[in-house]
Structures are given as structure tokens and as C-alpha cells.
Chains A and B, each alone.
Chain A
Amino acid sequence: MTDAIMNSKPDTAEIRRPSPGGERLKKRYAAERRFRLYGLCSILAAGLMLVFLVGSIVGTGWSAFLQTYVKLSITFDAEYLDPAGTGDPAQLQNADYGGLMKKNLRDNFPEVTGRSDKRKLYNFVSPNAGYVLRDMVIADPALVGKTLDLWVKASDDIDMLTKGYVDRTEAEDNRRVSNAELAWYDKLDNADRVETRFNTDFFVNADSREPEEAGILGAVTGSLLTLLITLLLSFPVGVMAAIYLEEFAPKNRWTDLIEVNINNLAAVPSIVFGLLGLAMFLNFFGFPRSAPLVGGMVLALMTLPTIIIAARSALKAVPPSIREAALGLGASPLQVVTHHVLPLAMPGILTGTIIGMAQALGETAPLLMIGMIAFIVDIPGGFTDPATVLPVQIYLWADSPERAFVERTSAAIMVLLAFLIFMNFVAVLLRRKFERRW
């Protein structure tokens, strides 16, 4: 053989060997350096964009975690609360606390006289301040008749002023805070009666028309309840479907058809699932509108293909030799799956599930179709209560004109991101726990 090859080539052919060093080598080194540089540039660009994104969100949103309070001297005037002096709790409960707050504001600023100025003055503090007084009185009826210095939550406009979002140099008509309000504010400020505190209410309240009262807990609870339903429905169904298709189903035209369909479903725009949910769950089955139950079901439909595809590829990645080993020892097909294949595929399945859940967490469109866009001021207490979810809450706040909602929008985005990071962290932990090598 070798002889034949040698003989077929004329001896005159020059023997070429790669020359050490020289032009080609230099070119190769340059190309490799360039290639590495491109990679580095891409990483830098991506990192910069991320820093810009997170930076702008945090930059706008961080101040939402603070809230301005003003110190006012409050008299729990018996005239308003309990004119007859009965001490009856029902009387204390129903007294005119709004009026009491207004009177106290007038007393704190005796210089205010005009009607419109008075109305402005009443808007100096949060409209909720009266209810805070009521809760205090009900907790301690002995307060009636006393005078205290109290920190009262300022209204959103005053809050914006404290945070420096109001430009004092602008014409009075162009800013939300009038000269009179500025004067009252400065008077308090000079007396050290203005303070910003950590905004606990943002984390324990549901949505509100008043920015200073609006909180994220309603949406967080809604998201949690919805995702719980999604997880409970899509994880078992998805994993079972994947196991059946991958390990037990005969490979024929029908299973091919099912596979193609599942792959296509994964690419269906999410709003279509919302329409399906509207037609099926609300109109046909008559489930409650705006409820986490239905939201979870719709998102489960959307997440199922993702989980099935991820689980199937995780199952496929388990080497067939493991299955053969178990079968050869006399394990039944079910034992092969539960004892060997599934535990080995679990990290992959969990990763897929978390990706699916993260998608579901950020999904808005299908939930709009089933009415989860409503303005809901109560924290949902169950799966059938009206609720909203984080992304929808962000959408609602982003749509609100008040300056104070701008920072709340960014703060809600931060909460959403924190959720995602937490979920990914859980995914990493679970992977570690299940990770095995073969």
C-alpha cells in the first residue's frame, strides 16, 4: 500500500513543512489576541448595560424605601372624640378623626386663614393620619383630652420635597408644592420637626391611591399564591409527562406528533394562554375573576411546555448504561426510573422548573386577560380572593402620574429582581443537593 502511494507521486514534488516562526505565526497570534479582545469587549458591554440598568433602577427606586414624617403637636380633643364624656368604645370608634386631624393642623399653623390655604394645609399630611389617631385612641382611651408631640406621615408631595424632587426655583404654578406649603415645611424643618424614616408601610401595605400609603405586600402575596398554584400544577404534570414520553412511550407517529406540539406550545405567545384561560376557566367553568387560582392555572399552562422540554432533555442526558445496569440486575422499568434515572435527572429538571417559574413570575399579559389588573387594596387571603401580581403592580404604578409612584415603580422592580435572585439561589442550592457525577 505505502509503496503504491510513494510511487504514484513524482519525486520532484517539493516537501513542504510548516516553517517555524514567520509571518503565519505572527498572524495567528494576532488573530487569537483580537478574538480574545472581542470576547472581553462583549463581556464589558454586557456588564456595562447591566450596571446601567440596575444602577438606574436603584438610583430612582432607593428613596421609595424612605418616608417623610413631620412632628406635630396633637391634641386629642374630647370635644371631637367624646363630647358626652361617656368613654363608650363605639363612640370612640366612630368619632370624627378626620376633623380632629384638620383641627390639629389648623392649631399647629395658626397663621393659615384662607379657604384654599386651609385645604392645602389638610393635604400636608397623609389622609390616613386620622386613622392612625383613631387606632391610638382605641388602643389607649386614656389619651382623650391629652396633647402629645406626634410624628405624622407627610403626604407624597411633601415627601418628594424632602427627597429633593421639587425644584424651588421654578415658577409656583409649575410645581406641586406651593409657596405657602414651602413656608410651612421650612418652619417645621427649622424646628427639627421633619424626619425621613424607613418606609415600613411599603412592605406591609397593599396598593393605594395615595402613594405614601401604597405598598407591595398585596402584589407579593398575589405572586406567591399564583406561583404556588403554578408550581403545584405544572411540576408534577410536566415531570410525569416527560417521564412517560421519554421512558415508557413507544416511539411512533403519535408520540412524534405530541413532541412537535409541545415544542410549538413553548413558542406560543403568552397572551394566547390568557385568552384560553379566559374562555375556559372563567367563561366555561365559572372560576372567580382576578384570582390567584385562575392566574396560577393559566401560568401553569404556559410553564408546562418549558418544564416538559427541560425534563425530557435532562432524562435524555442520563447515560443509557445506567438504565441497562439496573435492568440487568432485575429492576422493573418503574424502579429504573425512580431509583436511578429520575434522581440523576433531577438537577436538570429543577433548573428547567425554576426557569419556567421565573418566566411565570415576570408574566403580565395572560394575567391581564383574566382580570388580574384590577386595583386591589386588600392583601389577598386565599387562592380565590381578588389579587394582583408584582409585574402587574409595576405596570399599574408606572402608569400613575404622581412623582411618588415613579420611585415606587422602581422599588417594586427591585423587589421583583430580589425574588428572581432568590429563586435562582434556591435553584443553585437544589442543584448542589441533587448533583451527582457518573
Chain B
Amino acid sequence: MSKTSGSSASGTTPKMKGDKVKVFYGEKQALQDVDLEIKPNEVTALIGPSGCGKSTFLRCLNRMNDVIDICRVEGKITLDNEDIYSSDLDPVQLRARVGMVFQKPNPFPKSIYDNIAYGPRIHGTASSKAEIDEIVETSLTKAGLWEEVKDRLMEPGTGLSGGQQQRLCIARAIAVNPEVILMDEPCSALDPIATAKIEELIDELRENFTIVIVTHSMQQAARVSQRTAFFHLGELVEVGDTEQIFTNPTDSRTQGYITGRFG
């Protein structure tokens, strides 16, 4: 946390920056020359019709695309001005700094406790039982799940409800203390009440983390984000303050999308 709170919230220095990012799946180009800055301690929403490359861009930010054989990334992406695709940066360490929450809640088939403790254990950030206990409690508290599960930490995480599972996944991500958290449609599999809880949570997490969220719900983007980027057919069409994008978009395609004419 101390790492992230250092940078100013004014938005002058971007936390992450994509520069002419091109992504290819085999022969097929999925992203074309995307230039996008992610400001620290803000929620950046990526919106756009399905298949436009939102997830693809998000997965470039922590190099999750590396595991897809046919995927090729060109251009430059930086984290604190450091090229994350440079050869001397280890993707495994990068992912400890840039965490991820997935569309479908995917807790490990282990206990709630072990789900949270896994990250700190493999990164060696906590070794003693007491330290891990503390991380488990603070992470679950931050994810707003502590009260609900504190009496059954040893029960399997897969036994929770969908919304609880997703908050468990968020807690698991923040237990590693990343600087950036990427969320790929984290609420698409949840009911409205669970969604509201997660949105509230995202707003609180902004204080300590930089957040990039992909969403297909424009209301959600409007509710939780400070900046919004609109993607269309593999292109970044427009990016700006959320309010401006939703009230006064400059591009006609953006306008068309947010008024519901396509997508």
C-alpha cells in the first residue's frame, strides 16, 4: 500500500501507459495502435461492443496473453515508466504487481483461508502463521467479506455464493498487495445486489490501488470509473473523463454506442 499511496492523485504521471499497442492472434489483428494512459488511484473503465478487444488489452497489462501461444504483442506498455515487455522484467513478478480478477469467479478448490494465503505464501511476503492470519483478515475485511466468512475460514471457497466468491477473488488479489488490479467484467456473472456490493468495493479500493475494469454495462462504467476508454473493432476510439464521455462524447461512434444504437 505504501508503494501506491506515494504517487499523486492528480493524474500527471500515469501508472501504466500503452504506446501503439498492437495485438495479433495468429494472422488476425485484435488491437490496432492503442495509446492509453492509466492514472494512479483511479478507476479506468474499458467499454465497447463485445469482441472489440477490451479483454485483450487488459490481459496485455499483466502479460496474461503470454500463455496464449498464437498471441503476439507489439508496441510498448510501461508500469511506472518501466517497459513490462522488456526482457529483464519477469512476467511472474509483474503479475504480483498487477493483479487480476476474472469474469467468472474462480476460487481455488481449497479453503477460504488458503485461497487468500496462497499469494503471500508463494511470494514470501508473509512467513509466520500470525502474519498470514493478519493478511487473511485484512484482505477479507477490505473485500467486505470478513464478517460473512470469519467463522468458516476453513470451509472450501467454492462453497460460497457467486457474489461472495467474486469478493473472495478480489480479496485474494489484494492479499498480494499489487499496485494495479485488473478486472475483466467482474460482475457479469452476478445478481444486482452482489454487483452493487462489488461496485461499492471497487470505489473503496481506489484509495489504495489503481484499477482497470472492463465492463459491458455503461451504467456500471458511469458509476464506478473516473476515466472511460471506448474501444471499437480493435481500436481505441476515445478516452476521457467518464463524465465527459457519457455526456459529451467527441466521436460519433462513442455516441452511438452509449445511446444504445449498437453493441
Genuine A/B complex: yes
Q: Which A residues fall within an 8 A CB radius of B?
A: 250-251, 319, 321-332, 335, 339-340, 344, 436-438
A324 touches B122 (CB 8 A): no
B123 engages A330 (CB within 8 Å): yes
B109 close to chain A: CB less than 8 A: yes
The residue that B106 contacts in the complex, of A324, A332, A335, A339, with Cβ under 8 A, is A324
Determine if A330 and B122 form an interchain contact, defined as CB atoms under 8 angstroms apart: yes
Could you name 14 residue pairs across A and B whose Cβ atoms are closer than 8 Å?
A: A321-B106, A323-B67, A325-B102, A326-B118, A327-B64, A327-B67, A329-B99, A329-B118, A330-B96, A330-B123, A332-B92, A340-B108, A436-B110, A437-B109
CA distance A326 to B101 in the complex (A): 11
Contacts of A437 in B (CB 8 A): 109, 156, 158
List the 5 shortest-distance A-B pairs measured between CB atoms, nearest first: A330-B96, A328-B100, A321-B106, A438-B109, A330-B95
Q: Bound state CA distance, A326 and B106, in angstroms?
A: 10
CB contacts (< 8 Å) of A438 on chain B: these are 108-109, 158
What B residues does A327 contact at CB under 8 A?
Answer: 64, 67, 95
- Taken together as a complex, chains A and B put the C-alpha atoms of A33 and B95 apart, in Å, by 58
Judge whether B22 is part of the interface by a CB distance below 8 angstroms.
no
Is B62 part of the binding interface, using a Cβ–Cβ cutoff of 8 Å? Answer: yes
Q: How far is the CB of A326 from chain B (nearest CB, A)?
A: 7
> Given A251, A324, A330, A436, which contacts B102 in the complex, CB threshold below 8 Å?
A324
Beta-carbon contact of B109 and A436 below 8 Å: yes
Closest to A438 in B: B109
Within 8 A of A (CB), among B100-114: 100-102, 104, 106-110
**Most interface-central of A325, A327, A335 (chain B CB within 10 A):** A325
Main secondary structure of the interface of A (DSSP, over half): helix
Q: How far is the CA of A324 from the CA of B173 in the complex (A)?
A: 12
State the CA gap A339–B123 with chains docked (Å): 14
Q: How far is the CA of A332 from the CA of B94 in the complex (A)?
A: 11
Please provide the chain B residues from 38 to 87 with a CB less than 8 Å away from any CB of chain A in the complex: 62, 64, 67, 69
Residues A328 and B108 in contact, CB atoms below 8 Å apart: no
CA distance A280 to B92 in the complex (A): 44
For the complex, give the distance between the alpha carbons of A328 and B176 in Å.
11
Q: How far is the CB of B96 from chain A (nearest CB, A)?
A: 3
Q: B69 contacts A328, CB within 8 Å?
A: no
Within 8 A of A (CB), among B128-178: 156, 158, 169, 172-173, 176
Q: What count of chain B residues pass the 8 Å CB interface test? A: 29
Q: How far is the CA of A438 from the CA of B123 in the complex (A)?
A: 24
Complex contact A328–B122 (CB within 8 A): no
CB of A344 within 8 A of CB of B176, answer no
* B249 at interface, CB cutoff 8 A: no
Give chain B nearest CB distance to A340 CB in angstroms.
Answer: 6
Provide the bound-state CA to CA distance between A324 and B94, in Å: 15
- Please give, as numbers and ranges, the residues of chain A lying within 8 Å of B2 by CB-CB distance: none
List the A side residues contacting B219 at CB < 8 Å: none
Whole-angstrom CA separation of A400 from B38 in the bound complex: 84
Is A325's CB under 8 angstroms from B122's CB?
Answer: no
B178 (CB) vs chain A CBs: closest residue: A330
A295 and B100 CA atoms in complex are apart in Å by 51
Instruction: Flag if A250 contacts B95 (CB, 8 Å).
Output: no
- For A250, what are the chain B residues with a Cβ–Cβ distance below 8 Å? 69
A324, closest chain B residue (CB): B102
The reply on B93 being an interface residue by CB < 8 A is yes
A41 CB to closest chain B CB (Å) equals 41
- Tell me if A331 and B92 are in contact (CB < 8 A): yes
Query: Most chain-A Cβ atoms within 10 A of its Cβ — which of B108, B118, B173?
Result: B108
Contact of B99 among A321, A326, A328 (CB under 8 A): A328
Known: A324-B106, A438-B109. A329 touches B69 (CB 8 A): no
Q: A344 contacts which of B69, B100, B109 (Cβ < 8 Å)?
A: B109
Complex: chain A residue closest to B62, CB-CB? A328
B123 nearest CB neighbor, chain A only: A330
Is B119 an interface residue, CB under 8 A from the partner? yes
A330 and B95 CA atoms in complex are apart in Å by 5
Cα A330 to Cα B118 with chains together (Å): 10
Task: Find chain A residues with CB under 8 A from B176 CB.
Answer: 329-330
Q: CA separation between A126 and B128, bound complex, in Å?
A: 71
A326 contacts which chain B residues (CB < 8 A)?
Answer: 108, 118
Residue of A nearest to B66 (CB): A327
Whether A328 pairs with B102 at a CB distance below 8 angstroms is yes
Also in contact, A322 and B64, with CB within 8 A (given A250-B69, A330-B96, A332-B92): no
Taking A325-B172, A327-B67, A340-B108 as known contacts, 8 extra A-B pairs with beta carbons closer than 8 A to each other, sorted by chain A number, are A251-B69, A321-B104, A324-B106, A325-B108, A330-B92, A331-B122, A332-B92, A438-B109
In the assembled complex, the Cα of A324 lies from the Cα of B69 at a distance in Å of: 15
The reply to whether B169 and A325 form a contact with Cβ atoms under 8 Å apart is: yes
- Residues of B near A335 (CB, < 8 A) are 122
Is the beta-carbon distance between A329 and B122 smaller than 8 angstroms? yes
Q: Which residues of A contact B92 (CB under 8 A)?
A: 330-332
- Closest Cβ of chain A to B259, distance in Å, is 22
Chain A, Cβ-Cβ closest to B93: A330
A339 to B95, CA, bound (A): 17
Give chain B residues whose Cβ lies under 8 Å from the Cβ of A319: 106
Q: Which residue of A lies closest to B97 (CB)?
A: A330
- Inter-subunit contact A330/B119 (CB<8 Å): yes
Residues of B within 8 A of A251 (CB): 69
User: Cβ of A322 and Cβ of B158 under 8 Å apart?
Assistant: no
Bound-complex Cα distance A329 to B168 (A): 13
Contact B93 A322 (CB under 8 A): no
Question: Which residues from B are CB-within-8-Å of A325?
Answer: 102, 106-108, 169, 172
Q: How far is the CA of A437 from the CA of B64 in the complex (A)?
A: 25
